[in-house]
Chain A
C-alpha cells in the first residue's frame, strides 16, 4: 500500500523544485534591483503607510474559522458513511444507515438553527 505513494512523493519533489528552481534561476536573468526609499514601502495609494499592518482584525474571521471546523468535521464523517451506504442499501439495511445519519445531522442542524437565530452566520 505504501508503495502506491512513492510516485506521489517523486512528483511532490518535482512540483516543489519547479517554482523554487525557477525563482533562483530568474535571479540571473532579471536586472539587479536598485530600488531605494519609497519604492520599497508597501503600497498604500501613494501615501506613506499609516501603521504596521499586522494589527487587529475583525472577530468575524475567527467565528467563520470555528464554524468551519465543526461543519468540515461533519463532512469528514459523511464520507465513510457515503462510501459504505450503497453496500447497506444492497442488503436492505439502508433505512438503518439513513436514520443514523439523519440523527447525526439532526443534532448538527439544531446547532445550525441556533447559530442562525443568534446571527452568528450574518456578516454585517
Chain B
C-alpha cells in the first residue's frame, strides 16, 4: 500500500515536475516582485514630483518592500463587529487567488508556462482574472460599512462596463491569429513578422484604456477614491488581509500587461525577431546584445553610486546589487556568444523581452497615474458605454473588412498595413463623430436642465 502510493507520487512528479516548479516559483517570487513594483512606483512618483521618495531602508530605499512586508505581517488584525466573519476571511483569498491563477495561462518566454497546451489560452486568462471581482464585492459586502459597500458596487459596475470593451479589443486581435492558444498567438506574430499593435492600433488603445479601468488604477480608481470613499472596498481591512488585496491589485496589473504584451506587442519576440532566424549576419542582430548591455549599464551605475553611500553596510549592499546585474548580464550574453549555450537562447532572451515589455506597459500605467486627475463616476461610465463600446464594435467590423480586402489583394505580413491603416483611420473618424455627437447631446441636456431650473 505504502509503496504503491510512493510510486504513484514519483510517477506524478515525473510527469508534472515542470509546471509544479513554475507554479512554486511564481507563488514564491510574485509577492517580492509586487513589492518592488510598489517601490518603483513610489520612486517614479517622487521623481515626477521632484522629491526623493523612500531613502531610509537600505541604499536608495532598496529594502523598503521587505520592511513593509514585515510590518504588515506583525500588524494587529481587526474584524469589525457586524462583519460576516467567514466571507471577510474568504474575500481577499479569493481576490488574490483569481489574480495569481490567471497567470497560469500566460507564457513568459516559450519555455516558461504552467498550462502548456490548453487550447483556450487567452480565454482562460481573461475568464479567471474576471473572477477577482467576486473577492471585491464580497469583501465590501462583508465589512458592513457604507464606504466599503459603495466602493464594492462602484468597482463591480466599472469592471463590468469595461469588460465588454476589453473583450471586443481582444476579438480584433484574434481576427489576425485564428487561435486562442497563447503560444500560437505569439508565433503568428513571428510568422507575419509584424506585431498586432501595428495592424490593430485602435484595438490596442481600447484595451489600454479598458485595462486601466479594470485594474482600478488612476485615473479610473474610483472604487478606492480616497477623497470620497476613504479606501473603497478595503476600508475595513487591515494588516495582512489588506496586503492581500494590495497584492491582488498589482498581480492584476501584471496579468493585463501580459495579455496586452502577448496579443499586441509580440509576446517574448525580440524586435525584428525574423532576422535572428535567417542564416548569415544582419546588422539588426545587434539587438541580441542589448539585454546584456542594459544589465551591465545598470551594474556600472550601481558601482558608481557605491562610494557615495553613507554607511559600510549600504556600500556592501550596493556592490551586491551591482554584482547581481553583472551576473544577469553574463547569463543574457552567454546564449549569443557561447555555442554550447545556444539552445537556451529562446528561453532566456524570450523571458527578458517579455518582462521588458510588461515593465514598459506597467510604467505607462504609472505615468498616467501621476499625470491625469481622477474622473468623476458618471464621466467614467459615459466613456465606457458611450465611447469605447461603440468604437470597439466598429473597429472589429472594419478590421474584418480590411482582412477581406487583404486576401483579395493577396497581402501578407507588412503589406497588410496597406489595408489595416485605412481601416484604423476610418475608425478614428468614427471616434471623432461619436465625440461630436456626445458633445451635442450633453449641450442639449444641460440646456434643458437650465431652462427647468429657471422655470422654477
Does B89 sit at the interface, judged by CB under 8 A?
yes
Decide yes or no whether B290 CB sits under 8 A from chain A: no
Question: Chain B residues near A83 (CB, 8 Å)?
Answer: 174, 177-180
CB contacts (< 8 Å) of A41 on chain B: these are 80-81
Alpha-carbon gap, A20 to B95, bound state (A): 12
6 A-B pairs within 8 Å (CB atoms) are namely A43-B145, A74-B164, A85-B403, A89-B407, A94-B404, A123-B381
Interface size for A (C-beta < 8 A) is 72
The answer on a CB contact under 8 Å between B147 and A72 is no
A112 CB contacts on chain B under 8 angstroms:
389-390
A118 within 8 A of B: no
In the assembled complex, B332 has its CB within 8 A of some CB on chain A? no
Residues of A within 8 A of B247 (CB): 19
Nearest CB in chain A to that of B382: its residue: A123
Q: How far is the CA of A65 from the CA of B149 in the complex (A)?
A: 16
What CA separation (Å) do A10 and B393 show in the bound complex? 38
Contact at B73–A30, with CB atoms within 8 Å?
yes
Question: Is B167 at the interface (CB under 8 A from chain A)?
Answer: yes
Q: A72-B164, A85-B175 are in contact. Are A43 and B153 (CB under 8 A)?
A: no
Contact flags A50-68 to B (C-beta < 8 A → 1, else 0): 1011100100110011011
How far apart are the CA atoms of A33 and B80 in the complex, in Å? 12
Contact in complex: B393, A11 (CB < 8 Å)? no
Considering only residues 53-112 of chain A, those with a C-beta below 8 Å from chain B are 53-54, 57, 60-61, 64-65, 67-68, 71-72, 74-76, 78-79, 82-87, 89-90, 92, 94-95, 97-98, 101-102, 105, 109, 112
A31 to B115, CA, bound (A): 40
Contacts of B240 in A (CB 8 A): 22-23, 26, 30
> B interface, by DSSP: helix, strand, loop or mixed?
helix
B82 touches A52 (CB 8 A): yes
A44, chain B: closest CB distance, angstroms:
7
Q: How far is the CA of A18 from the CA of B101 in the complex (A)?
A: 11
User: What chain A residues lie within 8 Å of B153 (beta carbons)?
Assistant: 57, 61
A84 to B, closest residue via Cβ? B178
Please tell me if B272 contacts chain A, counting CB pairs below 8 Å: no
Determine whether the beta carbon of B73 is less than 8 Å from that of A29: yes
Residues of B within 8 A of A53 (CB): 144-146, 148-149
Q: How many A-B residue pairs have CB under 8 A?
A: 225
Does A72 lie within 8 Å of B89, measured CB to CB? Answer: no
Q: Are B230 and A92 in contact (CB under 8 A)?
A: no
- Flag if A65 contacts B403 (CB, 8 Å): no
Q: Is the CB of B19 within 8 A of A4?
A: no
Bound CA span A76–B180, Å: 13
Per-residue contact bits, chain B 40-67, to A (CB 8 Å; 1 contact, 0 not): 0000000000000000000000000000
Whether B149 lies near A57 (C-beta < 8 A) is yes
B104 touching A8, Cβ below 8 Å: yes
- Determine if A23 and B146 form an interchain contact, defined as CB atoms under 8 angstroms apart: no
Report if B368 contacts A (CB, 8 A).
Answer: no
Q: Tell me the count of chain B residues lying within 8 A, CB to CB, of chain A.
A: 90
**Within the complex, what minimum Cβ distance (angstroms) separates B132 from chain A?**
12
Q: Mark B105-138, 1 if CB is under 8 A from A, else 0.
A: 1000000001111110001100000000000000
Q: Please tell me if the beta carbons of A54 and B403 are within 8 angstroms of each other in the complex.
A: no
- Per CB-CB distance, the 5 closest pairs between chain A and chain B, nearest first, are A7-B19, A42-B145, A75-B167, A123-B378, A68-B160
B199 within 8 A of A: no
From B79, B149, B176, B407, give the contact of A54 (CB < 8 A). B149
Given the known A-B contacts A26-B239, A101-B397, A105-B393, are A16 and B115 also in contact in the complex, defined by CB atoms under 8 Å? no
Chain B residues with Cβ under 8 A from A79's Cβ?
A: 123, 167, 170-171, 174, 180
Asked whether B236 lies within 8 Å of A71 as measured between CB atoms, the reply is no
Can you list, as one digit per residue, whether each of B64-90 has a CB less than 8 Å from chain A (1) or not (0)? 000000000111111111110000010
CB-CB contacts of A1-21 with B at 8 A, as 1s and 0s? 100111110111011101110
Cα separation A112 to B116 with both chains bound (whole Å): 40
Q: Of all chain A residues, which has the CB nearest B386?
A: A121
**B22 / chain A contacts, CB cutoff of 8 Å:** 11
Contacts of A121 in B (CB 8 A): 381-382, 385-386
> Known: A8-B118, A121-B386. Is A64-B78 also a contact (CB below 8 A)?
no
Interface pair B171/A82, CB less than 8 Å apart: yes
How far, in Å, is B368 (CB) from chain A's closest CB?
A: 22
Q: Is the CB of A33 within 8 A of B16?
A: no
CB distance from A50 to the nearest CB of B (A): 8
For the complex, give the distance between the alpha carbons of A50 and B77 in Å.
Answer: 24
Across-interface contacts of B118 in A (CB, < 8 A): 4-5, 8
How long is the Cα–Cα vector from A41 to B236 in the complex, in angstroms?
9
Chain B residues 13-29 with CB under 8 Å of chain A are 16, 19-20, 22-24, 26-27
A98 touching B81, Cβ below 8 Å: no
